[in-house]
A and B are shown apart, each in its own frame.
Chain A
Amino acid sequence: MQRIYMDNNATTIVDPEVFLAMEPFFVRMYGNPNSLHSFGSEVKPSMAMAMEQLYQGINASDDDDIVVNSCATEGNNTVIMGIYFHSILGGDKNHIITTQVEHPAVTETCRFLEKLGVEVTYLPVNEEGVIHSDDVKNAITDRTALVSVMWANNETGMIFPVKQIAYACKNRGVLFHTDAVQAIGKLPVNVQEVPVDYLTFSAHKFHGPKGVGGLFIREGAPMVPLLHGGEHMGGLRSGTINVAGLVGMGKAMELAVGNLDYELSEVLRLRNKLEDAIAAIPDVLVVGKRIHRTPNTTLASVRGVEGEALIWDLNRQGIAASTGSACASESLEANPVMAAIGADKDLAHTGVRFSLSRFTTEEEIDHVIEIFPRVVERLRDISSTYAAGGGPACSVSPEQS
C-alpha cells in the first residue's frame, strides 16, 4: 500500500543530500574534534562549514553565538532556565511573558519556574490562534525579565508578529526569545531584520537529522549554560559535539533556505489544493487565514468526527496526519490551540492537521483528496453528534474561498 507522509510539523525526512554530507563522519572521520591528533583536526573544516551555513541561514553576525545542542527543547530550556539564574534568582526581576499555545518545552519550563516563585503571564490567542504585539507590550512591566513567543505555531501554522514583539521588547529593555522550529525552511528568518535576543531551532524539522538543534544568542545577551562539565562551544554547552549531526544540520539549513522560494510557491500551491478540497466538505472549518500561516500547514475541524478516530482511519489508508486531541494523552482537555482560539465544544476534539514538505508530491495530494472525504463520510455515518444534527453549519474563513 502506498504510504503518504503529511506530518512534517512533527518531523521530516532527512534530505538525501544531507545524509550524504553526514555519512563520512560515522565511519571514516570519527575523530573527536577536541583531540589534538589528526583524527580530531580533520573534522574541523566540515564543522566550520556547517557553522557558516547556520550563521548564513538566519543571517547571524559573527559576533553573535549559535550554540549547537541536541534539540529545540534543550534550547528553549536553556534560555528560560538561564534567564531565571541570571536575572530572576537574586535579582529584582521576577516575570516572564509567553503565550498559551507555545510548545510544552516553553510552557512546562515556565510552569516549573512558577513553582520556584516566578510570575508568568500566558497570553491568550485570538480566534485565529495568534497574539497581537500590543498584548505583549501591555503585559511588560518593570519586573519582566523575558518574553518568549514562538515564530510560528506547530498546530495551526499561524505566524506570530515576532518582528513587532521583538521591537516592543527592545524598546522596553526586555530580552526576547522565539522558538523558531516551525519557521526555518518555511519562512524567511533573518535575525538582523527581527531583533530577537534568542532563537531556537531543530534540524529534524527542516530535513536534517534528529537529535541536533541550535540556539542563537545575540551578542551581549546573557547566557547561562544548562549543561556543565566541559569547555565545548566556548563553555556555553558542554558535551562532545555531535559532528555528523552538526554537518547534517548545516547542510539542511543551506538546503532549507535555498528551497524557500519553492516552499513559498509550490508547497503552498499543493497545500492550498488540499485545503480547498478539505474545505469543500460540508461542515469543515479550516483554522486561520492562509495569508497568516506557514505555507505547509492546514488544521481542519471536521464536525462530528473525533480527531483520533480520523487519524486512525487515515492511517489505515496509509496517510499519516496528526491530531492534538488524542484521548490517550495525559489530559483530555481539548487541544489547547483549539481551546485557545475559542472553538466550540463540538469542534474542540475534531482537529486534524496536514503538514506538507518540499518532498510532498502532487500525486500524494491527489490521493489524500480522494481518500479523505470517504474517511469523513464513514466516521460521520457512525457519529452520534453529526447524526444528531451537527449543530450550526461551519464555514471556511472568508479569505480562503
Chain B
Amino acid sequence: MGKKDLLGGSLWDEYSQEVNRRMAEPEHRGDITEVQALKMGGKLIVADYGAESCGDAVRLFWVVDPATDRILDCKFKSFGCGTAIASSDIMAELCIGKTVDEAIKITNIDVEYALRDNPDTPAVPPQKMHCSVMAYDVIKRAASIYKNVDESTLEDEVIVCECARVSLGTIEEVIRLNDLKTVEGITDYTKAGAFCKSCIQPGGHEKREHYLVDILKRVRAEIDASQIREQATTRDFKAMSLVGKIKAIDDVLSAHVKPTLARDGGNVELVDIKEGEDEILVFIQYSGACAGCASSGTATLQMILGILRKELDERIMVVPV
C-alpha cells in the first residue's frame, strides 16, 4: 500500500533490539581449531553454506562429543547482512548443548523466534526472513558431515517456502482440500510466500526449485482432470463439457450402433452437435450401405435416437446430414 510504503520506517527500524545487539556484538563469532576441539574432548566439524544468489555465506564450527553426539561448542563466521550475522549468532547459541539430532530440528522459524524481543513481534521485516534460512541449512550440512550421510537424507520433505518452512505436500493438500484458486489463498492458509516472496514466482530474491504459481497450476489441472474423469465414469452427460459430450456420443455410437450397421455394410459418423436449452441436436452422416438406404431416415434413425437417449440424455435429437 502506498501510504504504508511512504510512511513505514526504514528497514532497520523493524529489527528487534536483540537483532541489533547481535549484529553489533555477535557472541559466538569466530572459529574453532582442531587442537581446541581435541582439548574439549570432541570432534571438530566445519560446514560451509552459501546462498549464491544473494551472496551470503556462513561457516559453522561444531565441537561434538562422539560418545553422546552432544554439541559442546559452536562458533560461526558469516559473509552477509546484519540479519544474516544475527541469525548465525543465535543459531550457534541454540546449537550449544543439543545433540546433533536435536540440532537438526532447529529451523529458521526457531532462529527468528529466538531473536524476538517479545513473542508477538517479528524480529526482522518479512523480506529479511530469507537471511535466517541459511542458519538452518548450515546446521543440516554440519549434521550430514558428522553423520557421514548425504544431506538429502536429513530432509524428508521438499520445502517450497523456506522462510515459513512450508512443504510441497502441505501446499498441495491445502489447494485440494480448500479448492484454492489463487496464490494469495495459499499464503492465507499456509504463510508460504508471505515473507521474502522468492517462492511465489521466478524473478524474486532467489531461484527456487518450486514456485507457488506452478504448483497451483499443476494441482488445479489435476483437480480438473480428476473432475472430468469422475464425470466420465459416472457418465453425467448434462455436466460434461462440449468436448466431453462429443466424446460420449461418439463412444455410444461406436459401442452400440456402428457394429449393428456394419453387419449390413453400413456406417455412421458423428458430424457435430449443437446444444440448446431444451434439446441437443446430434448431426450424423451415413456412409456405406446406409447412405441412400430408405431405412436410414426411419427405423435406423429411430434406433440410433433411442440408444443415444437411453445411454446419455432424453433431450437428444438426431439429424442426418
Residues of A within 8 A of B (CB): 304-306, 308-309, 312, 315-316, 325-328, 330-334, 345, 348-349, 381-388
- On whether the beta carbons of B52 and A345 are closer than 8 Å, the reply is yes
Residue B307 lies at the interface, judged by CB distance under 8 Å to chain A: no
Are A325 and B55 in contact, with the CB atoms below 8 A?
Answer: yes
Tell me how far the C-beta of A283 lies from the nearest C-beta in chain B, rounded to whole angstroms: 13
* Residue B48 CB within 8 A of the other chain: yes
> Which residue from B24, B55, B79, B204 sits with its C-beta under 8 Å from A386?
B79
Tell me if B79 and A332 are in contact (CB < 8 A): no
Contacts of A333 in B (CB 8 A): 53
B11 touching A328 by the CB < 8 A rule? Answer: yes
**A330 CA to B200 CA in the complex, in Å?**
12
Select one of A306, A309, A334, A387 contacting B77, CB under 8 A: A387
> Contact at B58–A384, with CB atoms within 8 Å?
yes
Contacts of B204 in A (CB 8 A): 330-331
CA distance A388 to B57 in the complex (A): 11
Instruction: Determine if B127 and A384 form an interchain contact, defined as CB atoms under 8 angstroms apart.
Output: no
Contacts of B85 in A (CB 8 A): 309, 382
Tell me the residues in window 295-321 of chain B with beta carbons closer than 8 Å to chain A beta carbons: none
Q: Across the interface, which residues of B come within 8 angstroms of A326, CB to CB?
A: 11, 81
Q: How far is the CA of A384 from the CA of B48 in the complex (A)?
A: 9
Known: A384-B57, A387-B77. 15 other contacts (CB 8 A): A306-B55, A306-B81, A306-B84, A309-B23, A309-B80, A327-B55, A327-B81, A327-B131, A330-B204, A348-B55, A381-B29, A383-B78, A384-B59, A387-B31, A388-B59
Q: Which residue of A lies closest to B55 (CB)?
A: A349
Which chain B positions have C-beta within 8 A of A332? 53-55, 205-206
Interface of B is mostly: mixed
What does the 1/0 interface line of B201-242 toward A look like (CB < 8 Å)? 001111000000000000000000000000000000000000
Task: Decide if B125 is an interface residue (CB 8 Å cutoff).
Answer: yes
Q: Give the residues from 68 to 114 in chain B that come closer than 8 angstroms, CB to CB, to chain A.
A: 76-82, 84-85
A382 touches B29 (CB 8 A): yes
CB distance from A201 to the nearest CB of B (A): 24
20 A-B pairs with CB atoms under 8 Å apart are A304-B79, A306-B79, A306-B80, A308-B82, A309-B81, A312-B12, A326-B11, A327-B56, A327-B130, A330-B204, A331-B204, A345-B52, A345-B55, A349-B56, A382-B29, A382-B85, A383-B77, A383-B79, A384-B77, A385-B79
B254 to chain A, nearest CB (A): 47
Most chain B CB inside 10 Å of its own CB: which residue of A332, A348, A383:
A332
User: 6 closest pairs, A vs B, by CB?
Assistant: A349-B55, A332-B54, A384-B77, A384-B59, A308-B81, A385-B79
Q: Is the CB of A327 within 8 A of B54?
A: yes
Contact partner, A328, options B53, B76, B79, B128, Cβ 8 Å: B128
In the assembled complex, which residues on chain B have CB atoms less than 8 Å from the CB atom of A312?
A: 12, 23, 81-82
Max count, chain A CB within 10 A of own CB: residue among B52, B80, B81: B81
Instruction: Say yes or no for B26: interface residue by CB 8 A criterion.
Output: yes
| A309 to B82 CA separation, bound complex (whole angstroms) | 5
Give chain A residues whose Cβ lies under 8 Å from the Cβ of B206: 332
* B10 CB, nearest partner CB in chain A, Å: 10
Task: Say how far B45's CB is from chain A's closest CB, in angstroms.
Answer: 15
A308 to B124, CA, bound (A): 15
B81 touches A387 (CB 8 A): no
In the assembled complex, the Cα of A315 lies from the Cα of B56 at a distance in Å of 21
Give the shortest distance, in Å, between A287 (CB) and chain B (any CB).
17
A267 to chain B, nearest CB (A): 28
Tell me, rounded to whole Å, the shortest Cβ–Cβ distance linking B225 to chain A. Answer: 32
B78 touches A349 (CB 8 A): no
Q: Mark B127-140, 1 if CB is under 8 A from A, else 0.
A: 11011000000000
In Å, the complex CA distance between A383 and B88 comes to 11
Contacts of B48 in A (CB 8 A): 384, 388
Contact status A387-B59, CB under 8 Å = yes
For residue A306, give the distance in angstroms from its CB to the closest CB of chain B.
5
Chain B residues closer than 8 Å to A349, beta-carbon distance: 54-56
Give the CA-CA distance A309 to B143 in the complex, in Å.
Answer: 28
CA distance A381 to B79 in the complex (A): 10
CA distance A388 to B55 in the complex (A): 15
Residue of B nearest to A325 (CB): B55
Instruction: List B contacts of A331 (CB < 8 A).
Output: 203-205
The interface centre, meaning the residue of A306, A327, A331 with most chain B CB atoms within 10 A of its CB, is A327
How many angstroms between the C-alpha atoms of A134 and B90 in the bound complex? 54
Q: Is A334 a contact partner of B78 (Cβ separation < 8 A)?
A: no
| B12 contact set on A, CB distance < 8 A | 312, 315
> Which residues of chain B have C-beta atoms less than 8 A from A348's C-beta?
55
In the bound complex, CA of A334 to CA of B48 (Å): 21
A260 to chain B minimum Cβ distance, whole angstroms, is 33
* Chain A residues in 8 Å Cβ range of B130: 327
**Contacting pair A334 B80 (CB below 8 A):** no
Minimum CB distance partner of A310 in chain B:
B81
Tell me how far the C-beta of B132 lies from the nearest C-beta in chain A, rounded to whole angstroms.
12
Q: Which residue of B lies closest to A333 (CB)?
A: B53
- A308–chain B nearest beta-carbon distance, Å: 4
By beta carbon, the residue of chain B nearest A304 is B79
Taking CB as reference atom, which chain A residue is nearest B76?
Answer: A384
Q: Which residues of the partner chain A approach B127 to less than 8 Å between Cβ atoms?
A: 328
Contact with B79, one of A316, A330, A384 (Cβ below 8 angstroms): A384
Give the distance in Å from the alpha carbon of A316 to the alpha carbon of B20 in the complex: 10
* Chain B: minimal CB distance from A7 (Å): 13
* Inter-subunit contact B81/A385 (CB<8 Å): no
List A contacts of B54 (CB < 8 A): 327, 332, 349
A-contact 0/1 string along B172-212, CB 8 Å cutoff = 00000000000000000000000000000001111000000
Q: Which residues of A contact B55 (CB under 8 A)?
A: 306, 325, 327, 332, 334, 345, 348-349
